[in-house]
């Protein structure tokens, strides 16, 4: 095999990089800083009275900061995949600033009263847009570039490299595996589709000495391929200040999923459940929140009932509500309520997964699904205690029986109440295969491991994004 030096030579000498959490914090802080800075300059340089930054009106800046942070989160300005594409950023910035300014104008008790010169509102709106767009362009041009990539060496079996690298780099656009050390007997293979070469011990030393590597990820079980020589080499890397991390930990951090298929043997040691699952105060808060949100949701559903009746009569031509058996907490079965979105007798040939562009879904039903309005009746299940607002989506018994046989530890997701929305619903793509079920299980287990008040709020915000961007399925 030819010496794979091409990729090593093109790497920058600097090993400076920003982790996912650091980049999100950077975006949040500098979004606010640039907006307030431009508004401050406008207040000094021009006759701009609507918004002033001084000790007398400090509350105005705090309210603007809160509104901007909340709506920027809802409209995905802190989604790193989208934050690296300027065309997407422009759209999300305009939507965020529009809603922020609207709410700012509608709360005059905490914000300035409307100016006599209404043109100042336009200047206020334009200033927020300009500040955000200029800073975000600078972020894409200067920070979201190869100079700040996190460069990683992977220790793994050659047959697993393809899958591991693809999963990591898909999750973080700034995460780059620059080479892999093959723990299997060398067979001269190179993974051409990833432009990634196998490296040797001397090349690992060279990378470490030149500080061109940020981290080493070990994707091989300790009992497979970890020779004495390799362990000594890893110790040398540690002595040079290069962190060494296990693949499943990195995978969880980047993807916010539990790689259950890689931790089968040590699952119960690796997977400690969140203390919130047994915390009575958290469970009490969750139940009160479930009841409060369900009452509001059902009230909203009653307001839209005429729309549902007319749409169902013209588009679906069947009963408005229908029920299905689902598997709940501890494997207990219950009937879930939904608004009809498919034609009558949609499962003449037995239970089957719904598919993308499923022909059984009516035009009105597609609107209900994409807007998530078809799930409003499930607030009844929440009030009855069969479901929670947040949790793994309940699956049908016919599918669960098959998935338990094919996916390791699938039944673990039944240790908590199923939810109306969940971590898998706001992160995973719509799918109908066993592979898709495995991905959703990974997200569900991550939620169960990290379940908390903060994660619940994050899921609610992401659910709002899903509804507002019309991404339901």
CB atoms within 10 A of CB 49: 12
Considering the chain, what percentage of its residues have pLDDT values greater than 70? Answer: 84
Lowest mean pLDDT among 112-126, 251-265, 326-340, 389-403: 251-265
User: How do beta strands 321-327 and 333-339 pair?
Assistant: antiparallel
Nearest-CA neighbor of 140 among 274, 30, 45?
30
Most confident of 121-125, 127-131, 311-315: 127-131
Q: Tell me: do 199 and 124 sit in the same domain.
A: no
Query: Residue 116 has what pLDDT?
Result: 75
For the cut 80, the answer to whether the pLDDT of residue 448 exceeds it is yes
Q: Tell me: do 175 and 230 sit in the same domain.
A: yes
Query: Residue 231 has what pLDDT?
Result: 84
Q: Tell me: do 37 and 112 sit in the same domain.
A: yes
Lowest mean pLDDT among 9-23, 206-220, 228-242: 9-23
Supply the mean pLDDT for the chain. Answer: 82
For the cut 80, the answer to whether the pLDDT of residue 8 exceeds it is no
Backbone dihedral region for residue 341 (phi beyond 0: left; psi -120 to 50: alpha; all else: beta): alpha
Taking CA atoms, 407 is separated from 89, 259, 442, in Å, by: 38, 12, 11
Q: Report residue 1's pLDDT band, with 50, 70 and 90 as the boundaries.
A: very low
Split into its structural domains, the chain has a count of 3
Domain presence at residue 473: no
Query: Residue 353 has what pLDDT?
Result: 61
Query: Residue 13 has what pLDDT?
Result: 44
Domain presence at residue 9: no
Q: Tell me: do 89 and 158 sit in the same domain.
A: no
Q: Report residue 471's pLDDT band, with 50, 70 and 90 as the boundaries.
A: low
Helices (H), 86-155: 86-105, 119-138
Domain presence at residue 13: no
pLDDT tens by residue, 256-299: 888 877 666 666 666 667 777 888 899 999 999 999 999 999 99
Q: Tell me: do 159 and 247 sit in the same domain.
A: yes
For the cut 80, the answer to whether the pLDDT of residue 24 exceeds it is yes
Domain presence at residue 249: yes
For the cut 80, the answer to whether the pLDDT of residue 366 exceeds it is yes
Residue that is last in its domain, among 95, 128, 143: 143
Residue that is last in its domain, among 143, 168, 203: 143
Tokens of 77: 């300005």
pLDDT tens by residue, 296-329: 999 999 999 999 999 888 887 778 888 999 999 9
Domain presence at residue 350: yes
Structural domain boundaries enclosing 382: 275-468
Global pTM value: 0.78
Domain presence at residue 270: no
Q: Tell me: do 197 and 64 sit in the same domain.
A: no
Q: Tell me: do 83 and 160 sit in the same domain.
A: no
Q: Tell me: do 160 and 280 sit in the same domain.
A: no
Q: Tell me: do 205 and 351 sit in the same domain.
A: no
The whole-number average pLDDT for the span 208-223 is: 74
Q: Tell me: do 351 and 435 sit in the same domain.
A: yes
Query: Residue 327 has what pLDDT?
Result: 95
For the cut 80, the answer to whether the pLDDT of residue 470 exceeds it is no
pLDDT tens by residue, 379-425: 999 999 999 999 999 999 988 999 998 888 888 899 999 999 999 99
Backbone angles phi, psi at 390, to 5 degrees: -120, 130
CATH of the domain at 241: 3.40.50.11060
Query: Residue 465 has what pLDDT?
Result: 86
Query: Residue 30 has what pLDDT?
Result: 94
Query: Residue 271 has what pLDDT?
Result: 66
For the cut 80, the answer to whether the pLDDT of residue 122 exceeds it is yes
Q: Tell me: do 139 and 154 sit in the same domain.
A: no
Cα–Cα distance measured from residue 370 to residue 363, given in angstroms and rounded to the nearest whole number: 11
Query: Residue 201 has what pLDDT?
Result: 79
For the cut 90, the answer to whether the pLDDT of residue 58 exceeds it is no
Domain presence at residue 456: yes
Q: Tell me: do 415 and 297 sit in the same domain.
A: yes
Helix axes 86-105, 119-138, angle to 10 degrees: 150
The whole-number average pLDDT for the span 334-346 is: 83
Residue that is last in its domain, among 255, 286, 312: 255
Taking CA atoms, 386 is separated from 22, 168, 189, 448, in Å, by: 39, 36, 53, 18
Most confident of 13-22, 150-159, 453-462: 453-462
Query: Residue 319 has what pLDDT?
Result: 86
Domain presence at residue 8: no
């Amino acid at each position: 095999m030819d010496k794979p030096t091409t990729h090593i030579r093109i790497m920058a000498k600097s090993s400076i990089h920003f982790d996912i959490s650091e980049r999100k914090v950077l975006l949040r802080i500098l979004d606010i800083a640039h907006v307030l800075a431009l508004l401050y300059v406008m207040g000094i340089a021009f006759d701009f009275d609507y918004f002033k930054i001084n000790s007398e009106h400090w509350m105005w800046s705090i309210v603007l900061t809160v509104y901007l942070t909340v709506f920027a989160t809802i409209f995905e300005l802190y989604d790193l995949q989208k934050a690296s594409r300027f065309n997407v950023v422009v759209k999300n910035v305009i939507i965020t600033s529009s809603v922020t300014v609207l709410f700012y104008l509608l709360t005059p008790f905490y914000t300035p009263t409307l100016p006599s010169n209404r043109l100042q509102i336009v200047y206020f709106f334009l200033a927020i847009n300009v500040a955000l767009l200029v800073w975000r362009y600078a972020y894409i041009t200067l920070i979201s570039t190869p100079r700040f990539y996190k460069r990683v060496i992977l220790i793994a079996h050659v047959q697993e490299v393809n899958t591991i690298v693809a999963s990591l780099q898909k999750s973080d656009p700034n995460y780059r595996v620059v080479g892999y050390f093959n723990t299997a007997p060398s067979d001269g293979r190179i993974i051409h589709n990833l432009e990634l070469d196998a490296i040797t011990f001397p090349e690992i030393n060279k990378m470490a000495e030149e500080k061109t590597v940020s981290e080493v990820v070990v994707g091989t079980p300790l009992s497979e391929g970890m020779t004495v020589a390799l362990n000594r080499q890893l110790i040398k890397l540690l002595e040079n200040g290069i962190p060494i991390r296990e693949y499943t930990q990195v995978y969880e951090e980047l993807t916010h999923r539990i790689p259950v298929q890689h931790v089968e043997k040590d699952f119960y040691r690796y997977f400690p459940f969140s203390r919130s699952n047994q915390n009575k105060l958290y469970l009490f808060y969750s139940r009160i929140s479930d009841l409060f949100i369900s009452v509001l949701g059902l009230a909203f559903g009653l307001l839209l009932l005429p729309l549902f009746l007319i749409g169902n009569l013209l588009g679906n031509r069947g009963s408005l509500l229908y029920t299905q058996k689902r598997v709940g907490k501890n494997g207990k079965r219950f009937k879930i309520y939904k608004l009809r979105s498919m034609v009558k007798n949609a499962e003449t040939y037995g239970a089957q997964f719904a598919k993308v562009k499923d022909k059984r879904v009516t035009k009105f039903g597609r609107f209900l699904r994409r807007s998530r309005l078809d799930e409003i009746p499930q607030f009844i299940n929440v009030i009855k205690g069969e479901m929670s607002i947040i949790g793994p989506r309940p699956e049908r018994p016919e599918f669960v029986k098959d998935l338990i046989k094919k996916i390791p530890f699938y039944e673990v997701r039944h240790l908590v109440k199923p939810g109306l929305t969940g971590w898998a619903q706001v992160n995973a793509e719509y799918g109908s295969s066993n592979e898709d079920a495995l991905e959703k299980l990974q997200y569900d287990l991550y939620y169960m491991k990290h379940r908390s008040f903060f994660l619940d709020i994050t899921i609610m915000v992401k659910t709002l994004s899903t509804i507002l961007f019309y991404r339901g399925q």
